[in-house]
Amino acid sequence: MGSLLLFDFSSSSDWAGWEIENDVVMGGKSTSKLTRNEAGNAVFTGDVSLKNNGGFASMQYHFAPKNVGGYDKACIRLKGDGKDYQFRIKSNLQERASYIYNFETSGEWQTIEIPLNKMEPTFRGNKLDLPNFNADKIQEIRFLIGNGKAENFRLEIDKIELQ
């Protein structure tokens, strides 16, 4: 079984499915944006604010359900700023749980490998008493920064695929 490409920023001109969702949905003051750089990669930048009980910024992509049976890890080519981020997936947009995996960035280009069965169920930052991710479909992927501190951030993303 080969790879399942979820999104390749540099080879796609249609980014319409990507949206920013920050803590402003609950009264926070964090800001972020998604831009394309000269190489065609996504650049997710902004400022996380703790004001008004805020503390996160995210970018999300919703799509028609994709069959992920037989794939066991997400591979993401990216360049971070040395900060910690979360990669999140949802098997269904109507379900409460997001399955999350925290990863560190090095400041250099790297390929982050995330075992799908290590992605833990959470809702609004709280771990749920459910099994780790084991679904055969996904419908959302998301990158989130929320390290409990006010900070600016920059995450450059090339592509996201399952293997």
Residues 6+ apart with CB under 8 A from 105: 78, 79, 80, 81, 82, 83, 84, 85, 155
Cβ burial of 126 (10 Å; 0-12, 13-18, 19+) is: exposed
Q: How far is CA 37 from CA 7, 68, 106, 140, 156, in A?
A: 16, 30, 20, 24, 9
Task: Using pLDDT thresholds of 50, 70 and 90, give the confidence band for residue 20.
Answer: very high
**CA 6, CA 31: separation in Å to the nearest integer?**
25
Answer yes or no: is pLDDT of 9 > 90.
yes
Handedness of CA 69, 146, 94, 129 (dihedral sign): positive
> pTM score, two decimals?
0.95
Q: Count other C-beta atoms under 10 Å from residue 48's C-beta.
A: 25
Whether 1 shows a pLDDT value over 80: the answer reads: no
β-pair partners for 45: 33, 154
Bridge partners for 146 per DSSP = none
Q: For 60-115, what is each residue's pLDDT tens digit?
A: 999 999 999 999 999 999 999 999 999 999 999 999 899 999 999 999 999 999 99
